[in-house]
Amino acid sequence: MTDMLRPDGDVDIPQAAIDAFVVPPCPKCGGNLKPRIVFFGDNVPLKTIEEIVHWNCESDGLLVLGSSLLVFSGFRLVVQTKELGLPVAIVNIGPTRGDDYADLKISAKCGDIIPRLFATR
């Protein structure tokens, strides 16, 4: 996996893997299934934004895992968290747009950090 990382910290996926990717069909209508994620360039649905803002206001802080926060929808959550006076922690292998807002920044791979966060002692 490390040999797939580009200098900017992004993953370099071979074209053959991209070409072989198949979107699964809907078992009812046969159309393409779209996961409940927002693809790059798409807009986050307003209902989703409202839910996230509500959850953030009820939280103890924000943990960002594996995001450069270049997309405004993610970055705005970091800004809102700080405006609420709550802590922000970021785990990413490269710099992020939210680094100046972070109370804690861990420059590492999420796969190395997440198991340690949830390890029982």
Where is pLDDT greater, at 99 or 1?
99
Domain that holds residue 95: 15-118
Q: Does 4 map to a domain?
A: no
Where is pLDDT greater, at 61 or 120?
61
CATH of the domain at 97: 3.40.50.1220
pLDDT digits (tens, 9 = 90+) for 15-68: 888 888 887 888 899 887 777 777 767 788 899 889 999 999 999 999 999 999
C-alpha pair distances (Å), 119 with each of 69, 96, 109, 113, 115: 27, 26, 16, 10, 6
Instruction: Please name the helix (run of DSSP H) or strand (run of DSSP E) that holds residue 106, with its range, or none.
Output: strand 104-107
Helix, strand, coil: what percent of the chain each, to 5? Answer: 35, 15, 50
Is the overall model pTM greater than 0.95, yes or no? Answer: no
pLDDT of 107 > 70? The answer is yes
Total of domains in the chain: 1
Q: Does 8 map to a domain?
A: no
